[in-house]
Structure formats: structure tokens, C-alpha cells
Structure 1
Amino acid sequence: MSVPEQQDDLEAQFAQWRQYVQSHRALQPSDVDELEDHLRGSVDGLVELGLHPDEAFLVAVKRMGGLDELSREFAREHSERLWKQLVLAGDTGRPAEDARSRRDLWVMLGCAAGAAASSKVPELFGRQWGGNDADSVFYALNISLFALPWLAGFLAWRRRASRVVIGVLAALFALGAVAANVYPLADSSQSVVISGLHLPIALWLVTGLAYVADDWRSSRRQMDFIRFTGEWFVYMSLIGSGGGVLIGLVFGTFNAIGLDPGDFVGKWLLPCGLVAAVVVAGWLVEVKQGVVENIAPVLTRLFTPLFTAALLALLVAIVVTSHGIDVDRDALILFDVLLVVVLGLLLYSWSARDPLAPPGLFDRLQLALVISALAIDVLVLLAITGRITEYGTTPNKAAALGENVVLLANLAWSALLLTRFLRRHVPFAAIERWQTSYLAVYAVWAWLVVLIFPPVFNFR
């Protein structure tokens, strides 16, 4: 079908949807126009991601189900073609799209193989996976450099990124390699820990630049990357679970015939499979863009109440027992991980939310979660500040202090915006713009910890 024919068919579907909506509810023409404008924007975004216009229309209508029940009914009655999107790289009957799908598959396999091969290159220079302490430190600092450049390369190829973007990506990954390998960090150095935690964050946000490519100023594309991050994590978890079963079967079956697969699993299957899975999970998110049963709303609606209850219980326990927060290294990491997970849960939920939907009960629950996290963040900050005042600072305490300040600013403004949204003083788009603009703050902070902290603290 030619492009003009595709456009005519798409316009016919818009007309059919409009007629359906108008015939089932008394709506003002302006209301229908607003719905149609939102629908067209969603379709355009899906087409840019590589979907056929016909399928993009069905996906967009299905996603509008949360906004408008009639759209959900319309999608249910016209969704027989939508199941094609459940096939990873199947035959769509369109030669051009089938060829593109096959190219994506082969490029992904090439990038995954490149990631696996790069994880073995250090062995040529005497670095052994699972070797001595120095080798363990080396792999802890460099593991993200074996995988993320290949994922970024796949995304940049899929987005047809410009040479400028590719050059910036190469420079930032090179900077990460320098930071991981040039500084004289001892095996027991605190800087090893904080660099090992922050470098993957910095490089993941670099990968985000490959995802948005030349559209890096777009808040919508940045929010898409947040959704990509959440769904990538889900796929990585599923792959990891399957990998654990595979390793168990390998050990069981090889031991049954008198062979020990420990060396193969420890030196080949684990490192190669781990970095290759990073690329494969990214590819799965990309090819599943057309699946309308998005996992994000299910997960967020399940875990948001649970995390809210857990944080409230923690706050109650602190008040009742009068126990302060311990600020040793493990406790700092635990509390920071908790706050990061909560923020990630919120971002994942907001990325999947229809921006035109009115505020509801779930939005109020999210506000309770934000306020609870904000209160815990304040308590952690007070504890860290007290310890620094009394005993002086260390790399761990300084990093924890800065990270909690960064999170505090985001949570505080998010709470204010959510409150104003619930009162219908601002649109939901204001929350999206705040979160996407704050990605730059995370990037700057992560690079600051990786590049500046080690020399400032004399590589302790």
C-alpha cells in the first residue's frame, strides 16, 4: 500500500472512531475534537517508533481506554488485527516492514555478541572474571561499559541518530572508561563503591541520549525513555529468572554425568549472558512497542499501595520507638536504594499515565507515597548531617548527603505539583516536564561523583 493510500485508510479510521464516539454519548463537538487531537498525537508518536499507521491507530485507541470508555469499547470491537503486534518479528505481510524487523534482529544479535565478546577482552590482559580482589574491583567498575555502549549503539542505529549525537555518545562512554580505569583506587577504597554505583547511572542516562537521539529536547521522548527504563528492568528481571533456571539445569544435568560445569558457568555463561541480556532486553522493549497490554499500569497499581504502607509503617516505627536512623555505609545504601526505588516506581507510573485523564484516587495515593518518601529523606539527611558535624565527612557520607539533597528537591517539588494537580490548578503535563527536566540533574550528579569525588577525597 502506498503512503497516500495508507493516509487515506488512516483518515477513514479516524472518521469511523469519531462517528462511533458521537453516536454513543452526547458530547460537545469541542470535546470530541480534543479527544481526536490527543488520539492523533499518540498515533504520530507510535508511527515515529516504527509501527504501521493502521496498527498505530489501534494501539493509540486502546491506550485511550483509560480516558474514555467508548474508546475502549471501540478498540475491543476492532482489535482483531492488533494481535499481530504480539509477534516479535513475525510475517506482517508487508515486505518493507518484515525486512526492517529482520534487520533489527540481526543488528541486535550483533550488538549482543559484541557485548559478550567485550566482557572477555580483559582476560587477554590478565584480568580474570571472579579472580582476585583487584580483578573483582575492575569488573565492578567496568561491567556497565561492556554492555551499555552496545545497547546505545543499537538504539542509535534504530533511531538513525545523527553523527553529532553518535560523537557525543562515543565521547561520554570514553569519559566513563577513563573514570573507571585511570584513578588509583585501592580495593578497600570507599570511592570504589560510590563510583561502582554511580557510573552505571551516568552511563544509563547516556544511553537515554541514544534513545531520544536528535529529538533530545522533547519532553515526550524523554518520558518515553523513562517508560523504556522501567520495561527494560522488567525484561531483565524475567531474563535473569530464566537464566537462573538455566544455570540450575546445567549444574544438575552435567553433575549427573560426572562433569563439573562450574568454570564454564562462572567464566563464560554468567559474564557473557549478563551483558548480552542488557542488549536483548532493550530490543524486546523496542519490538514490543505495539503491545497495548502495557505492564506498567499493572505493576505500579500493585506496588504503589504496598510501598506506601511500608513507608508509613517505617515512619510510625521511628516515631513510636524513638530510634534514629543508623548512618553506617550499609544503612545509607539501603535507605538510598529505597528512595530511588520509590522514585522509580513513581516515574514508571507517570510515564504510563494518560496526561489528559482527570485526577483520581490513585493520584492521591501517589501523593501519600511522595510525602512519605519525603519525610524519610528528611530524617536521613538530619542523621547524615549530624554524623558529619560530629565525626567529619567521608566519601560515602558526602555522596549520601548529596544524593539525598538531589532526591529531596525532586520529591518536594513533585509533592507540590501533585497537590496542585489534584486541585486542578495545573495540568499533569507540568509533572511530566518537571521529571524529564530533572534527568539532567541526575546526570550531572552521577558524573560529579564519578569524576570529582575520588580526587577530592584523595582516592580514599
Structure 2
Amino acid sequence: MTDDQGGLTAQFAEWRHYVQRRRELRQADVDELEDHLRGSVDDLMAAGLHADEAFLVAVKRMGSLDELSREFAREHSERLWKQLVLTGGSDGPAARSRRDLAVMVACALGAAVSVRAPELFGVSLAEGSGFYPLNAGLLVLPWLAGFLAWRRGAPARLVGVLVALFALGAVAANAYPLPVESQSIVLTSLHLPIALWFAVGLAYASDDPRSSRRWMDFIRFTGECFIYYVLIALGGGVLVGFVFGTFEAIGVSPETAIAQWVVPCGAAAAVVVAGWLVEVKQGVVENIAPVLTRLFTPLFTVVLLAFLVTFAITTGGIDVEREALILFDLLLVVVLGLLLYSASARDPLAPPGLFDKLQLALVVSALVIDVLVLWEITGRITGFGTTPNKAAALGENVILLVNLAWSAWLMLGLLRRRTPFTALERWQTAYLPVYAVWAWVVVLVFPPVFGYL
């Protein structure tokens, strides 16, 4: 190690010790601040400054710790500790909270109205046409993306990209002549919301779209948004039950109003409300979600291991019909979701422990199942030809195979203390666009390639 490197290491250690004394900043926050500082120092040294000079200039540019904390809180405004840092002024938490509430209500109402708007053009929700499955994401997710883009202060260029992505999704969902029995209807209905959800992610990360930490925050946002949505749905189910009981007690049946108005409009608005709750109630869910992850990771590990043992004993093969393919893919996606969400909630500097070993067992089990499914799909395609369902499942399982295999390798390195946890984190965030690209391929390319089958 050179003298310059040794001096910088000591200076960074001293700076980190000073910053860690601030109770408002969590360990992950300190890590991110240090990443910014190190990047600035590297840029200045590349420009010709001496190490000591580069460090001093970089610290000076970042400002005092109080000012830095304020800026960091604004950029990460979903964090509970913003209430400790952003105090005073017209742009304080209370004023921001009122504006967020107003914008959220407007977006939630927009999503609810969008669900019923097709009625004006003769498309009835009650008739069960193929319009709503194909366009469900397009009716709701633009409003959530709009709320997040407003909250992040997204630049006009990025807003234009979001509009273009949702417009592309609208074309893909409605331009192709898909018959009612077409497999492409099911595939588009499943993959288009995935593709559009990454557009929501772009809105979420619009304040720093190149930051892997920001996309890891979006992964956490996705899990927490799902939890809140389920809780809202459960509460809504109880409310609907009371409405049925009370109105029928006086001889009035609310079935039509609930089925055509309350449930669809409420389900659409709840997506925006759930996203808003994650943003403003971050501290509450942070206590729930990691607990759920630690609860279900060992349970899914046991289930997958039991499946593999049973498969080895029976050797009956795997059914690769459409329903089975969807089931296995959902299982692998749940495993990946547990991995992603536990990674987003993990302290990057924490040493590897028992839970990391359980996660490795879970990922390896899922990897083996993925290989078995791929083997069966390849055999069916070779023997009987391909279909849109089998081709989509083949591509998705290959994508999952790559992610799971490299994740298992990185986790093994983590357990052996040869690979830092940040390597696994960066791999997952860097791999996210692969899922989005594949979803768009299935939505845009598959229908014409397979003759709208």
C-alpha cells in the first residue's frame, strides 16, 4: 500500500467515525455517503490533485454534516428519519405530507376513474371481455408512476421516457389482432404489467436512476407495496362483507354496485394508496417485512428440499403444461423475491450468519428445480414443437437460471468471506433490466412470431 493510499484510508476512517456519531444516519446511509465521497475523491485524483488535496476538496464540496444530512434526507424522503433532519421552513415534513396526500388522492381517483372509463367506449367490465386483462396495468400503473415521479421531482426528459413506455404498452396490448382463445392474451396479460412495473421503478429512481442503491430501494418498495396492498385488500373484504349484510337486512341488494364499482375502483385506487403508504410510513413496514422474509425463507427451503427428495424417489417427471409452467415459474419468482427483499433489508457490513446459509440452500434448491424444468421443457419442444407458452417459459427459466446460478456463487463467496455483500446487491440491481427486456419481448415480439396463436 502506498503512502497516499494509507493516508486516504486513515482519513476515510476518521470521517466515517465522525459521521457515525449522528444518530439520524443508519449504517446503510453512512455507507452510501462514503461511496459518494470516495467517488468524488477518485474523480479529483484523476484530474491531477494529490490525495490529501482531493480528500479535502471532496469533503468541502459535500458541505457540513448537517447540510449533507438535510440533502440526503430529501433524496431519500421515504426514510422515517427525515422527520429528525428536515425541520423548520416552509418545505418541512408537515407541508410536504399535505402535498403528498393531495397528489396521492388525485392519482388514486384517476386510477379509479380509469377503470370505469372504457364503459364510455362500449367496453363493459361485466361482460368479461379480453380488454381488461390486457390493459389492467395500463389503467393503474401510470398513476402510481406519476405520483412517484412528482414526489421525486423527475426531470422532463425522464417523464417523456415514462410516457413513451406506457404508450408502447398501450400499443402492444391493443394493436395485435388476438383471438379470444389465443395464448398471447394470457402471456401479454402476465408480462405487460411486469414490463410496466419497471417503468414505475424508473419513476421511483428518477432522482438517481444510475444508483444501484436506489434500485435496491425500489425492490424494497415493491415488497412493502405488496404487503400494504394485501392488508388493504383484507380490510376491503371485511368492509364489503359488512355492506352486503347491512344492505340486505333492509331488502336492498348491493351486489351490482359492489361488483362493478366498489371492488374494481377500490382495487385500482389501492395500488396508489399502497405506494403512498410505503413512502410516508416507511418505519412501520421496515419492522414487518424483514420478519416475513426471515419467516418464509426457511419454510420455502424446506418445501423445495422436500420436493426434490420426492422427485428423486418417484422419478415421475414434471408436467410442463401451461398451468404447471406458471406454477413453477411463480415458485422460482417467489424464491427470487425472498432473495431480493432480504438483500435489500440486510446490513451490508453484517458478517455472514445462519440466515445466509439458509438463503444459499434455498437458492441452490431453486436452481436444481429450474434445471429440471428446463430439461423437461427442452424435451417437449424437441419432441412436439414449440408454442408461445413453452417458448416464454423456456426464456424465463433461462433468465432465472443465470441469476440464481451467479447469486449462489456470490453467496458462497460471502459465506467464505471472500466476496463482499455489495457484490450480490449490485448483481441483482444490474440484472433487473434483463427481466424488463424479456417481458417486452414476450409482449411485442411473440404475437406476430407465433401467428397470434
Could you state the TM-score of these two structures normalised by the residue count of structure 2? 0.84
Q: 1:144 to 1:51 in 2, by over 3 A?
A: closer
Would you say 1:175 and 2:171 are equivalent positions? no
Would you say 1:101 and 2:97 are equivalent positions? yes
Render the CA deviation track for 1:88-117: whole Å, top value 9, x for unaligned: xxxx88653211110000000000001111
Render the CA deviation track for 1:434-455: whole Å, top value 9, x for unaligned: 0000011001000000000000
What is the match of residue 406 of structure 1?
Answer: 399
What is the match of residue 77 of structure 2?
Answer: 50
Q: 1:56 to 1:336 in 2, by over 3 A?
A: same
Task: State whether residues 367 and 418 of structure 1, in contact with CA within 8 Å, keep that contact through their aligned partners in structure 2.
Answer: yes
What is the match of residue 275 of structure 2?
Answer: 282
What is the match of residue 121 of structure 1?
Answer: 117
What is the match of residue 444 of structure 1?
Answer: 437
Give % identity.
Answer: 66
What is the match of residue 421 of structure 1?
Answer: 414
Q: Aligned equivalents of 1:430 and 1:308: distance in 2?
A: 23
Task: State whether residues 75 and 207 of structure 2, in contact with CA within 8 Å, keep that contact through their aligned partners in structure 1.
Answer: no
Q: 1:52 to 1:138 in 2, by over 3 A?
A: closer
Task: State whether residues 28 and 348 of structure 2, in contact with CA within 8 Å, keep that contact through their aligned partners in structure 1.
Answer: no
What is the match of residue 388 of structure 2?
Answer: 395
Render the CA deviation track for 1:292-325: whole Å, top value 9, x for unaligned: 8432210111000000000000001100111111
Would you say 1:150 and 2:143 are equivalent positions? yes
Would you say 1:245 and 2:241 are equivalent positions? no
SS for the counterpart of 2:117 is: helix
What is the match of residue 10 of structure 2?
Answer: none
Render the CA deviation track for 1:133-190: whole Å, top value 9, x for unaligned: xx2x110011111110000000000000000100000000000011111111111110
Shift of 1:415: 0.3
Gaps of 5+ in 2: 1-16, 36-68
Gaps of 5+ in 1: 1-13, 21-33, 60-84, 86-91
Shift of 1:17: 6.6
Would you say 1:358 and 2:385 are equivalent positions? no
Among residues 375, 382, 406, which one is paired with 1:382 in the alignment? 375
Q: Which residues of 2 match residues 264-413 of structure 1 at below 5 A? A: 264-291=257-284, 293-413=286-406
SS for the counterpart of 2:343 is: helix
Shift of 1:289: 2.7
Task: State whether residues 56 and 290 of structure 1, in contact with CA within 8 Å, keep that contact through their aligned partners in structure 2.
Answer: no
Task: State whether residues 79 and 282 of structure 2, in contact with CA within 8 Å, keep that contact through their aligned partners in structure 1.
Answer: no
SS for the counterpart of 2:352 is: coil
Q: 1:57 to 1:190 in 2, by over 3 A?
A: same
Among residues 114, 121, 141, which one is paired with 2:134 in the alignment? 141
SS for the counterpart of 1:310 is: helix
Q: Which residues of 2 match residues 4-83 of structure 1 at below 5 A? A: 18=21, 37-38=30-31, 45-50=72-77, 55-56=81-82
Task: State whether residues 165 and 214 of structure 1, in contact with CA within 8 Å, keep that contact through their aligned partners in structure 2.
Answer: no
Shift of 1:47: 4.1
Would you say 1:255 and 2:251 are equivalent positions? no
Task: State whether residues 235 and 281 of structure 1, in contact with CA within 8 Å, keep that contact through their aligned partners in structure 2.
Answer: yes
Task: State whether residues 144 and 200 of structure 1, in contact with CA within 8 Å, keep that contact through their aligned partners in structure 2.
Answer: yes
Shift of 1:282: 0.3
Could you state the TM-score of these two structures normalised by the residue count of structure 1? 0.82
Shift of 1:197: 0.4
SS for the counterpart of 2:320 is: coil
Q: 1:433 to 1:96 in 2, by over 3 A?
A: same
